[in-house]
Structure 1
Amino acid sequence: MTTTQRHLQERIEARIRDNLVGLVDSKQWNIYRGRFVNAVEAHARELVGVPCLTTNAGTSAIELALRAHGIGPGDDVVIPSSTFVATVQAVLLTGARPVLCDVDDATYNPEPEHVAAALTPASRAVLFVHTFGNPSGAARVAAFCAGRDLILLEDAAQAFGGRIGGRPVGTLGSGAAFSFNSSKPMSCGDGGMFATGDLEVHRRAKAIRHAGLREVPDGRFLAHEIGGKSLMTEFQAAVLEPQMDLFDELSRVRTGAAMSLREALPEVSPHARLQRVDDDAVSAWQRVAITLDTPARAEETLARHPWLERFYAAALVDEPVVARHAVFTDDVAHRCRDLWGRLIGVTLWPFQDFGDVVAKALEAKGSHV
């Protein structure tokens, strides 16, 4: 671990301990007007640039984004075939139907032509996933959606802090979902956030997030929407708040590790190719990924370098719930399985010793399969 990362981690961990001890001692665990929840939402608004609502998980934030836009039974939502199953689950939880589209082989993100090929008469929204923190292609898909009167929502679970064309991830469409799960750039074990610049959507989402409640003129809160309980707790927020406050420093450390890995990873095999990041894109570097030319070559590389990993247990189309409920063509299924089979790399876990994984990658340079 570099001196810079160690000092930063020590500062954050000390603040987390102070926050949690103080919170336990205070007995002020109110999830409705929590000090730490409010602080996290304020920090996030400064970083993202639009109002933010914390949630108990990233999946809940995606579902909240969909529900706040009135998406439900009878609607189709286009989703890239390169994502984790939770994106599909969020759509299914609303009663809408997920329709999978193909993705670019180099960025792992959809382009407008991929979205266009997946549209149906019932299509109302597109969920753009910033795969591994990479926003490449998002602006092009946003322009396509605007021209087709489609709602663009961002699954930015892996991409807090990413930028495209100078704009923060989370501001390209009508709403965005972030995750603070254990594998994300910032983590409080689990947690999420919904962001939107549309004040009416924000108002609806805030109600749906907490039993459908809205304040009425006499000061009472009455249920105006069908809503559940997907609030972030004060304990989650107490862990997240120091990370949010020091996010710029965390991001610089993460980016430095990612750049070192991007120099070293192509050397593990002459057939390795880095995930492409567009010139106008800034990745959040949740993961550093490569593809091999064949699934068999990927298996050989994983066997030779066990510190590398596959990111998901199965190709998305082979998840049983997706096979039963999502819509996709045979060609999309074939391409999905092929990319999953060739895609490997490194997750930059929060609080991980980035120097350790960079050292492993540097040791592997030249040991070609």
Structure 2
Amino acid sequence: MSKDFIPAARPIIGDEERAAVDAVLVSGMLAQGSEVAAFEQEFSQVLLDGRHAVAVNSGTSGLHLGLLAAGIGPGDEVIVPSFTFAATANSVALTGATPVFADIEPEHYCLDPEAVAAAVTPRTKAIMPVHLYGHPANMDALGALAAEKSLLLFEDAAQAHGASLGGRRVGTFGEFAMFSLYPTKNMTSGEGGMVSTGSDEVARRLKLLRNQGMERQYENELVGFNARMTNLHAAIGRVQLGKVGGWTEQRRANAAFLDANLAGVGTPQVADGAVHVYHQYTVRIGAGERDRFAAALKDEYNIGSGVYYPIPNHRLPSFNIAADLPVTEAAAAEVLSLPVHPSLDAEDLDRIATAVNALAKAGA
């Protein structure tokens, strides 16, 4: 096998990011400071239409602190999808509240509003959809349901930087939203998260919670955490923020090529009015064939792929909750994410399409 391996994901770190980090190192101001403040302001303007942006040390911290800042705690229930990374439900459990798992829509892998409505109980305090793979959840229907039931609405936008629905950016619908800045996301700060909110009070509480409960040193107002982002990470994030728009257009162009050239697999569907930013390009493979297909893609064609996510959260040992989620179970058995990252070239895309079509035709 002579052709280079095509990975499922590839962080892009260049000279500008290295220079930005070096400038922080030279300054000697490494902890949270002016770089973080600038990153927050720029993220707000570029991706959030001016909403508050609060930087933290990870996406999970962002979810956890966002929930706490919004008043979620013991005795509350928060409805979440089971078909996502465990951090979504973990963050609810870490507040002392209970994650309640609801099923997803088969076309877009995001929370099904009808399933959410059926999961509401007197203890339900909030709904937290995930904009999975970079496709926005059905925020219109979920927002209407939240208003009808007097519930809070949050957003796990970990994978959805720049996605939108009906011309409105994700991260601007809920009481708070969280964007991950992990290395494999559409943009990165090396590690970190950004929390958005339209509430001055929630923003203030977020800033207290990330910094040991302090606004002024040694004047602790509440019990908090050390969840600060460093100037080093913010410096990387600021450079990446200037590039993410172009990278997103390349992801969308790569996805359009795959849409037009793949056969024999179920390609991603996009809702009317939605802008999908393709953190993942996820296809469906027939039940029982997915794992063999992924292995053959690597072994025969030197192409990576990923399964996001093979075990629904409700079946993880950490939760182990009985739930009837047939659409979630089917997705977990059939999804496969193909490379779509912006560093792919035309030859890479041709190789991916040729390999997938050959395997689909042969039945993997």
Deviations 1:99-128 (A, max 9, x none): 100001111111220101111221101111
Cα distance 1:148–1:59, how it changes in 2: closer, same or farther (>3 A)? same
Quote the residue 2:6 is aligned against.
none
Quote the residue 1:44 is aligned against.
43
Give matches, 1:28-177, under 5 Å: 28-31=29-32, 34-46=33-45, 47-49=47-49, 50-177=51-178
SS in 1 for 2:125: strand
SS in 2 for 1:78: strand
Retained in 2: the 8 A contact 1:286–1:347?
Answer: no
Task: Measure the CA separation in 1 of the matches of 2:344 and 2:285.
Answer: 26
Quote the residue 2:336 is aligned against.
344
SS in 2 for 1:29: coil
| Matched letter for residue 256 of structure 1 | A
User: Where does the alignment leave 5 or more consecutive residues of structure 2 unmatched?
Assistant: 1-10
Q: Report deviation, 1:72.
A: 0.8
From 290, 296, 317, give the equivalent of 1:298: 290
Retained in 2: the 8 A contact 1:99–1:328?
Answer: no
Task: Measure the CA separation in 1 of the matches of 2:340 and 2:115.
Answer: 29
Q: Report deviation, 1:79.
A: 0.5
Quote the residue 1:207 is aligned against.
208
Cα distance 1:356–1:242, how it changes in 2: closer, same or farther (>3 A)? farther
SS in 1 for 2:215: strand
SS in 2 for 1:275: coil
Deviations 1:231-263 (A, max 9, x none): 111111111111112332222222222222333
Q: Report deviation, 1:85.
A: 0.8
Task: Measure the CA separation in 2 of the matches of 1:194 and 1:347.
Answer: 27
| Matched letter for residue 304 of structure 1 | A
Alignment coverage as a number of residue pairs: 343
Quote the residue 1:238 is aligned against.
235
Deviations 1:163-212 (A, max 9, x none): 01100000111110110112210012321010001111111111111111
| Matched letter for residue 37 of structure 1 | V
Deviations 1:11-37 (A, max 9, x none): x71211211111111112241xx2321
Whether 2:264 is the aligned partner of 1:263: answer: no
Retained in 2: the 8 A contact 1:277–1:283?
Answer: yes
Deviations 1:325-361 (A, max 9, x none): xx552x22x44332101111225457x4455642332
Give matches, 1:189-338, under 5 Å: 189-215=190-216, 222-264=219-261, 266-267=262-263, 270=264, 272-294=265-287, 296-306=288-298, 307=303, 308-323=305-320, 327-329=321-323, 331-332=324-325, 334-338=326-330
User: Where does the alignment leave 5 or more consecutive residues of structure 1 unmatched?
Assistant: 1-8
Compute the TM-score of the two structures, normalised by the length of structure 1: 0.87
| Matched letter for residue 306 of structure 2 | E
Q: Report deviation, 1:221.
A: 6.0
Cα distance 1:356–1:73, how it changes in 2: closer, same or farther (>3 A)? farther
Task: Measure the CA separation in 2 of the matches of 1:54 and 1:108.
Answer: 28
Quote the residue 2:351 is aligned against.
360
| Matched letter for residue 97 of structure 2 | A
Task: Measure the CA separation in 1 of the matches of 2:340 and 2:356.
Answer: 19
Q: What stretches of structure 1 move > 6 A for 4+ residues in a row? A: none
Deviations 1:32-84 (A, max 9, x none): xx232122111111121211001100011011110001101110110012111
Task: Measure the CA separation in 1 of the matches of 2:250 and 2:175.
Answer: 31
Quote the residue 1:5 is aligned against.
none
Cα distance 1:168–1:17, how it changes in 2: closer, same or farther (>3 A)? same
| Matched letter for residue 39 of structure 2 | V
Q: Comparing 242-251 with 178-187, which one deviates more in the overlay?
A: 242-251
Q: Report deviation, 1:95.
A: 0.7
Compute the TM-score of the two structures, normalised by the length of structure 2: 0.88
Q: Name whichever structure is richer in helix by fraction.
A: 1
What is the aligned-residue identity percentage? 31
Cα distance 1:161–1:97, how it changes in 2: closer, same or farther (>3 A)? same
Quote the residue 1:4 is aligned against.
none
Retained in 2: the 8 A contact 1:40–1:240?
Answer: yes
Task: Measure the CA separation in 2 of the matches of 1:88 and 1:259.
Answer: 32
RMSD of aligned residue pairs (Cα, Å):
2.0
Q: Report deviation, 1:312.
A: 3.1
